Each structure stands twice: as structure tokens, then as C-alpha cells.
Structure 1
Amino acid sequence: MNHLSMERILERIHQSEQFEEMRITRDQVHEMFREHLLFSYTPETGQRINHMHDALIQRTTQIAEYLLEDEGYGKPPVSYAFILLGSGGRREQTLWSDQDNGLIYADSETHSQEELDAYFEKLTTYILHGLNVLGYPPCEGNVISSNPQWRKSLQGYTEMMLDWCKEPDWENVRYLLILADVRCIYGSEALVVKLKQSFLAYVQEHPSLLKYLLSNTLHHKISLGVLGHLITERYGEDAGGFDIKYGAYIPIVNGIRLLAIHAGILATSTMERIEQLKVNGISEHLASEWEMAFSIALQLRDSTPFLLEEERYTTRGKLSSHQLNKEVRLQLKRCLRTGIALQKYVAKSIESHKEREKG
């Protein structure tokens, strides 16, 4: 297995006819990647991991379609998009990421809402069963297509998004930022583009929404003390470790995402967003610093210990105390200092925009 090329891995996934068959491939490839991550990490490694996840989820959706057809439910009544959110939407999944997904289907004049709901509820039941077999735990925040909130027609999604925009309380703003990372993994890309364009257009037309997005964006603080020391876990089994997910990775992702929303950028991956922000006027120096900090956070996040719970891959997103050697601490502090500067830059950018609007 160690000698399999990425092309051969993807071929095995696409040729699988059962969820259990794909689980065997995932376990083998997971071990291959995990051993590789112990010795070296490159951005290409992360890209290959995400190619694997994409292929597994795409094939799972195809097999779910076939199962419904075999059972007499027919083909999908309208076009649809199975979507990823969270790290999947950003193409930044680790080996052990959970499920953050939804489904958007086209509006129809020939099928009733009840018919469409019934078909796509059944389809997502099969998809989620397959993903469970493959070892993906469900999202703890219930951002998943079994939740009717994340399984709607395009019109339903658009109306829900506009309701969130018009009532920007904390929870609604959290949902808007989740939706900003939406990516079509299977099906109609056009449905996703229309939804994202509607959101970005609303922000451009109602810039007052930015202050609410900013408050949520800065909620997670960079875990670096005022004297430049790492803020590590104090209690429990992770004592002495570092929360790389919420202390570094998420604050950087959130900051870049808000700058991208402000600039009307459709891209979802953090690196792509930084590249497009350069086109929109961000200096090469700043972009380079952000890319460096994000790469460090991504690398260290990929090296956190993982667990198998009820045959599902999971992680607490924390570096253990023994992983925090001198080299890692130096890397991490450089990342965190840049993260703090990024958060200040984002706040200043949004505040200055508000002042210009007042002027």
C-alpha cells in the first residue's frame, strides 16, 4: 500500500461498489498518510489528504443514488448539490475530520415540495450511513444534511440566509460564517454559486452587517500571552498541551474569511482567499506572512493525536505536551504573533470601512 500512487488510490475509491469496500481503502490510506506525517509534512500532503476525502464523499453520494434507484425511488427528481462546510468546504480537512455537510436542491414547478423533501431526506439518510461506515463522525454542532435546516431548496436556503442577515444575532451570524465556506462536493456547482453570490451581494449592499460578522470572527483569540508565552491547557488529559485548532488555526481562518467576504471573493480555501486578496490590493509582504502562519497552523493541526471511537476517526485538535519541543514552540510563536497582527488588521479594516460609510 505504501507504494500506491495517488492516482491508484483514487481509482480504487471510484471503482468501489460498497461502503465497506471503501472503508478498507480508507483505513489503509489513512495509515499510509499518518506514517508520512510523522516524518515530514508538505502542503502537497494536505492536498492529497483532501483529494482522498473528496473522492470518498463523492463516491459515497453516487452509491447512495444507485441504492435509491435500485429500491424504486428513481433518479433525483431535480438537480442538487451535496455540499461541504467547515474544513471540508475550505479543502482543509485533516485525516480525522468529522462531517459538516448539507444538501441544496433546485426549485421545481413539476414536483411538489413534499415529493422533493421525501426523496432528498431518503438520499441523505443513505449518504450519511455510508459516511458513518467510512469512519466520519457526525458534526457535533448538527451542521449536517440529516438536519432539515441544512437540506433545502435553493429558494429555501436563500430565504434562510436573508433571514439570518436581517436578524444578525450571535447564532445567525455564526450560521452565515459557516455558510460562507460552502463548497459543492457533488452535483450542481451552479446552485452553490448562486447562493454564495446572493450572500456576498447582500453584504455589499448592507455593509452594516460587517460589524456583526467581525464580532463573531474575533471571538476565538490567539493563544499567546502578553509576555509571549504559549497559553497551554491547564487541566485534564491534555494538560500542558496546546489547542492548535482554536488557539491558532481557527482565528487565522476566520480572519482571512472575513476579509474575503468584505472583498466579495467566492473562493473558500484559505490559501486561495489570500491569493485573491492580493489581487484586491493586499501587499505581497502581508500575504506572505499570512500564508506562512496559516501553513504552520495547518501542519501542526495535521500532527495532532487521533482516536478511534466507535470505529470513527476523531481528534481533540490539541498538540500533546511532548510534541511542544523547542523547534515547534519557535514555529508556533511565529505563527501566533502573525495571527495576532492579522486579527488587528481585520478589526482595523472593518472599522475603517464603517467610518467611511458614516462619512
Structure 2
Amino acid sequence: MNTIALRISDFLKNHPPFSMLQTEQLLAISQAVEVHYIEKGQIVFETETPVKDQFYIVKDGAIGLYRNNHSNLVDECDEGDIFGLRALMRQGTYQLSAMAMEESILYSISANLLTEYITVNQKASTFLLQTFVSNSNFNTTDSFIDGAIKNAADMPDFNEELSASYSKNPIHCSPETSIQEAAKTMTLKRVGSIIITQNKKPIGIITDKDLRVKIATGTVSIDKPVTEIMSAPVITYPKNISVAEAQIAMLQHKITHLCITEDGSNQSELKGVLSEHDIIVVRENNASVLVKEIKRANTTKELQLIIQKTQQLLNRYIAQELPIRYITSINSAIINSLTNKIIEFAISKMVTAPPVPFAWLAIGSQGRQEQLLLTDQDNCLVFEDVSPELHQQTQDYFLLLAKEITIQLNQVGFEFCPANMMGSNPKWCLSVSQWQAQFKRWITKPDQDNLMLCTIFFDFERVYGDSDMVDQLSDSIFKSIDSYEIFLNYLGLNALQNPPPLSFFRNFLVEDSGEHKDQFDIKARAIMPLVDAARLLILSKEIKAHNSTIARYTKLAELEPQNSDLYFACIEAFKNLLYFRTQQGLLHEDSGRYINLQTLSKANKLELKSAFKAVKAIQELIQVRFKLSQLM
């Protein structure tokens, strides 16, 4: 072996997945590696250009990965970092561009080397699977969990760890079937493959490629049995194979179809076929793609179709039991992106541009990034202060704009708020100073109505527009609370309005009248007590950067380690309740708020009752901390 190859080997063996390879595998790769000297500012590959048949590892220097014509740095790769591998797996075009941030030396490794030496190594292949789904440069952090996703560029591709959707009615034939009959069946059924089975077990496969290469060329007669040209043995996997596993398996075996069997072996019954096309379909219906479709959309009709796809995506995520925080972050990112597009549509329909800067705020569950099912709208608008003589015409402009926004949101699937808590209502379309005055009034006069408004409007998130004025609103809330501290006590009393949702005899407290008589209100009796408690406690700490319930309890656990067990119990309870409500909503095609207890299994009821313990515990903490027994 030459000296350069030895140096490459010495370098690679210190970095995974190369450190996991056997010596002969590593040496073989090192001999075939290409070395690249890259000047500062030189492009390695560009967004939207065809993926090269190789990936890269940084030997020296630094490579930046960018979006938007090198204006948005997504990641920085330095010594030992790998980049371009996800693109190689995915094929198509690059979604990022790579440019040298300083003079660099890169090693490039071809797809053939990947399949021949790396994916066949069990440890290295496992490492690839783990890192492939992490959406980072072999840096398996989940930093996006620490806050809601603000930009589609930061959105992880969770389809990689989802179970792949496969054809559950595979076309198959017996070994005695002639090639001609098999081809006719494939043509009739419009499929690109047919499985040869014996006693319901897969023993071989024929694809369109086999017909082209072995039949169309005259190599084999079409009268021969399918066993003459079938590929055998077939590659089999169990039903829960993930998208990432499927892609790596196809790459490793250089095939385009996998057989899905009962136990994952070729000795059990055939259950389906997973094709390369199926993987492409999954990838074309993921969160990142949906956000891109939103950006390209020109009509509300297109956005309506995207909302439908979003609900299908949500169904998949729930069915695959992905962490609820991942799901809510992704769903919020999609909804926010869609709302941004609608606001752009609405502004384009106005006769003139907005007269002053403004911001569109989501409130309630969407403001907390906890909206999963399509519910009614909750939003408001804030605009920059203007002189008194210009105020009315400025507000009139924004009321007209807000009306157009809410109409279009309704057209794509978000119902109008029954209580009219929308930016099109003059009460909720105000200047910065008006909002500040209104917040102060609610805080200093905390009657039942004002407290209810605080629980809705204090959970706001900027979706569009100026961020400075939104910060001003947050600051004004804390300033008003500081001047009237007893407000927190009243807010505490309000948080105790719904006690733990079990009666003295350990039965669920259900609605005793009305449309939902004898049904359990999971939102009011279980979810909102946890939400209200988190809001109260985080406000008492004067922390404004945490809007979601989970983020609030996480921050509280950090600030109060002595109560961390309780706060983490609240997180688990909240996640379970939100998950359960979403499942019920998808099952019954409604909001999931009211649950018929008769439809629940004993296990379901036990899970819910377990979550209620956290509600009881957090309410007891609030009662003691804010000395509420004196006010009750």
C-alpha cells in the first residue's frame, strides 16, 4: 500500500463509522479515496444540483452547509465531520450547498465503497441508521427540541424513522407460471414486480428490469417458467421496517424491492412488497416538502390540499408513536408557514401596503405550539403606535386585512372562532400601547372574565411581522404583574377551578348536562389544569421565552431542582393526555375534547388516572405556594 493510502487510513480509523470497520475494509477504502484541495469560498456542491455519486469527510479546514444561496448557515463541518451522505442515500438533488469556510482538504468516498465495505459491516451499518435519522452531521443532538421550529430549514425528516408504507396486496405467482403469463399479470395490475411464492412464502422476484435485460434481449424464452429469470433468494424484512432501514437495505443489496413477511424471514408468509417508489412517495409527503409546497403555493385551494396532507402526516406520526413534542413542533411549523403564506396573499389583495409595521399573533393552543387537530382560529393583531389623528384609519386598514386573513384561514380548514377571538375583531386588533393598557387592566382588575382572557392571550406567539413590538407586550405583562403582585394569587385561584378529575369514589368526573352529558372533558378537566399551572409558575419567575407547556415545566425543573420530579411528572402527564386526545380526535374525526368513557378499555382508563395524579400534585403545590387557602 502506498504512503498516501496509509495516511488516509490512519486518519479515518479515528472517526466513525470508519473506526468500526475491519482493517482490510478500511485499507480498501483508503486506497480508493479521492483527495480534494479546496480554496476558501470554493463550492463543493450547490443546492438543487444533481447529487454526486460520493460523500465527503473533512480532513482539514471547515466546510459550511448553507441554504438560500449561502445566506443561511445551517451547519459547520470541521475535522472528521461527514457531509453529503444523506443526499447520496436520498438521491435526486442537493437540498443544501457546501462551501469552504477556509482552505480545506476533503476525502471523497464513492457510493460503491459505501455499499461494498461500510453497509455490510454490522456496527457501521447500525451507526449509519442511528445517525441517518438524526438530521445532523453525525452529531446526534436533539437541539431543536429546546424550542419550537421557527424555520422549515431546521425541520428534521422524521420519515426516516417511521415504519415504511408498503403494498399490502402483493402480486405473486407460483414457480410454474410462465414468464409470459407473469408479464401479462404485471401489465394488467400495473405493477413493476411480481413475487414468486411457494406455500405462501416468497422464493424469488421478477422486476421490469429482469424483463428488459433477460427477455427483451432474447436471452431467455418467454415460455420458460419464472424460475428461469427470478432473483433469488429475496431480501425480506418484518412489517415495521423503517424508511431509513429500507433505504440502506436497498443500497446495500443493490435492489429496488424488499419483501415484507410475517416474521421478517423468507420462511414465513408474504405480507407485502416495499419498492423504491414507495420510499419516494413517503419522502414526497413529509414535513419539509409540505413547507416547500406552501412557499410555492399561489392559491388557497393549494393550501387546502396541503392541510389535508398535513393531517395525513399527523395520522402517520401518531400511529408510529413519535414523541409528542416532535409532532407538535412540526405541526406548528407547518401551520405557521401556512399562515404566513395566507398573510402574504391577504396583503397582496389590499389596495395599499400596510401603513405601519404590525405583527400577527397566534394565541391559545397554537400560541403554545400545542395545536394538533384542526380547531377554530385564535389570533390577534398588533400594530405600531401612530398619532391620535391617524389611529382610526390605521386600525381600519388592519381590521380589513385581518378580516381577509381570517376568511382565507377559514377557507383552508380553520373554523372561525365562536367567541370571535380573532384579529378581525376590533377588540383584538390594537396598537402596542392599547394592548399594553388592556393587559394592565386585566391584571389590575382580575375578575373572572379578565382572568379568562389572560389565560388565552398571555400564551401568544408571533407568527408574522415585527418582533420588537411583541417583546414590548411581554415586557409590559411582567411590569404590570410587578406592580400588582396579588394578580398571581387570583390567577392561582383560577388555575384551581378544575380540581383533579376524579370523584370521591375514584370515578371520572363527567359532564352532567348539555350536549356532552356523561362524557369526559379531557381538555377542561385534565389538560388545561396542567397548562394553567405551568403558565402561572413561569409568570411568577418572570420568564417570557418559554411558551409551550412542556418547555415551561422543563425550565421550572431547572430552576427548582427540589421540585423537578413533580415537574417531570407533569410533563409526562401532559404528553400522555395530549397524545390521547389527538388519538381520540383522529379516531372520531372531531376535536377529541369529549370522550365517551364507555369506549375506553380498562388500560386506557388506568393511563388517564395515572396522569391525573400529576394534576392533583401540581395544584397542591400552587395552593401552598400562593397561599390560596386564605382566599378560597
Query: TM-score, length-normalised on structure 2?
Result: 0.52
Which residue, out of 496, 499, 518, partners 1:218? 496
Q: Which residue of 1 aligns with 2:575?
A: 295
Cα distance change of structure 1 residues 148 and 190 upon mapping to structure 2, 3 Å threshold: same
C-alpha RMSD over aligned residues: 2.5
Q: Distance in 2 between matches of 1:186 and 1:354?
A: 43
Does the 8 Å CA contact 1:103/1:145 hold for their aligned counterparts? yes
- The reply to whether residue 193 of structure 1 matches residue 474 of structure 2 is no
Q: Which residue of 1 aligns with 2:310?
A: 29
Q: Distance in 2 between matches of 1:288 and 1:2?
A: 34
Does the 8 Å CA contact 1:274/1:291 hold for their aligned counterparts? yes
Q: Distance in 2 between matches of 1:168 and 1:254?
A: 15
Deviation, structure 1 residue 353? 12
Does the 8 Å CA contact 1:263/1:280 hold for their aligned counterparts? no
Q: Distance in 1 between matches of 2:629 and 2:502?
A: 28
Paired-residue identity, %:
24
Which has the larger strand fraction?
A: 2
Q: Distance in 2 between matches of 1:62 and 1:11?
A: 15
Cα distance change of structure 1 residues 291 and 215 upon mapping to structure 2, 3 Å threshold: same
Bigger shift: residues 54-63 or 221-230? 221-230
SS at match of 2:355: coil
Query: What are the Cα deviations for residues 24-70 of structure 1, in whole angstroms up to 9, with x where unaligned?
Result: 111122133225434535222232222221121121112111221xx
Cα distance change of structure 1 residues 347 and 305 upon mapping to structure 2, 3 Å threshold: same
Query: What are the Cα deviations for residues 215-269 of structure 1, in whole angstroms up to 9, with x where unaligned?
Result: 2222223311223332345667756643211121111101111111111121211
Query: What are the Cα deviations for residues 267-314 of structure 1, in whole angstroms up to 9, with x where unaligned?
Result: 211111112212332532122111111111111121223699xxxx85
Q: Distance in 1 between matches of 2:388 and 2:433?
A: 15
Count of paired positions: 347
Q: Distance in 2 between matches of 1:316 and 1:329?
A: 16
Which runs of 5 or more structure 1 residues have no equivalent in the other structure?
Answer: none
Query: What are the Cα deviations for residues 71-105 of structure 1, in whole angstroms up to 9, with x where unaligned?
Result: x22x2111111001110110000222221100000
Amino acid at match of 2:564: E
Q: Distance in 2 between matches of 1:62 and 1:207?
A: 41
Q: Which residue of 2 aligns with 1:42?
A: 323
Cα distance change of structure 1 residues 208 and 190 upon mapping to structure 2, 3 Å threshold: same
Cα distance change of structure 1 residues 172 and 232 upon mapping to structure 2, 3 Å threshold: closer
Bigger shift: residues 257-266 or 298-307? 298-307
User: Where in structure 2 are the equivalents of 1:11-30 lying within 5 Å?
Assistant: 11-30=292-311
Which has the larger helix fraction?
A: 1
Cα distance change of structure 1 residues 144 and 111 upon mapping to structure 2, 3 Å threshold: same
Q: Distance in 1 between matches of 2:586 and 2:370?
A: 16
User: Where in structure 2 are the equivalents of 1:271-310 lying within 5 Å?
Assistant: 271-282=550-561, 283-305=563-585
- The reply to whether residue 123 of structure 1 matches residue 401 of structure 2 is yes
Q: Distance in 2 between matches of 1:316 and 1:275?
A: 26
Cα distance change of structure 1 residues 307 and 192 upon mapping to structure 2, 3 Å threshold: farther
- The reply to whether residue 341 of structure 1 matches residue 617 of structure 2 is yes
Q: Distance in 2 between matches of 1:287 and 1:67?
A: 47
Bigger shift: residues 58-67 or 97-106? 58-67
SS at match of 2:417: coil
SS at match of 1:144: coil
Q: Distance in 1 between matches of 2:391 and 2:530?
A: 40
Q: Which residue of 1 aligns with 2:291?
A: 10
Q: Distance in 1 between matches of 2:580 and 2:473?
A: 33
- The reply to whether residue 60 of structure 1 matches residue 336 of structure 2 is no
Amino acid at match of 1:134: V
Query: What are the Cα deviations for residues 128-165 of structure 1, in whole angstroms up to 9, with x where unaligned?
Result: 11101011112222211111111000011111111222
SS at match of 2:506: coil
Does the 8 Å CA contact 1:241/1:324 hold for their aligned counterparts? no
- The reply to whether residue 250 of structure 1 matches residue 250 of structure 2 is no
Cα distance change of structure 1 residues 235 and 161 upon mapping to structure 2, 3 Å threshold: closer
SS at match of 2:354: coil
Bigger shift: residues 141-150 or 77-86? 141-150
Q: Distance in 2 between matches of 1:210 and 1:278?
A: 20
Q: Which residue of 2 aligns with 1:136?
A: 414
Bigger shift: residues 299-308 or 190-199? 299-308
Q: Which residue of 1 aligns with 2:95?
A: none
- The reply to whether residue 326 of structure 1 matches residue 602 of structure 2 is yes
Does the 8 Å CA contact 1:83/1:101 hold for their aligned counterparts? yes
Bigger shift: residues 10-19 or 172-181? 172-181
Query: TM-score, length-normalised on structure 1?
Result: 0.89
Amino acid at match of 1:27: Q
SS at match of 2:373: coil
Deviation, structure 1 residue 179? 2.1
SS at match of 1:103: strand
Q: Distance in 1 between matches of 2:340 and 2:628?
A: 43
Does the 8 Å CA contact 1:79/1:188 hold for their aligned counterparts? yes
Q: Distance in 1 between matches of 2:629 and 2:480?
A: 16
Cα distance change of structure 1 residues 242 and 41 upon mapping to structure 2, 3 Å threshold: farther
Which runs of 5 or more structure 2 residues have no equivalent in the other structure?
Answer: 1-280
Q: Distance in 1 between matches of 2:410 and 2:487?
A: 37
Amino acid at match of 1:268: N
Which residue, out of 365, 374, 378, partners 1:100? 378
User: Where in structure 2 are the equivalents of 1:178-189 lying within 5 Å?
Assistant: 178-189=456-467
| Rg larger in structure | 2
Bigger shift: residues 274-283 or 3-12? 274-283
Deviation, structure 1 residue 354? 9.1
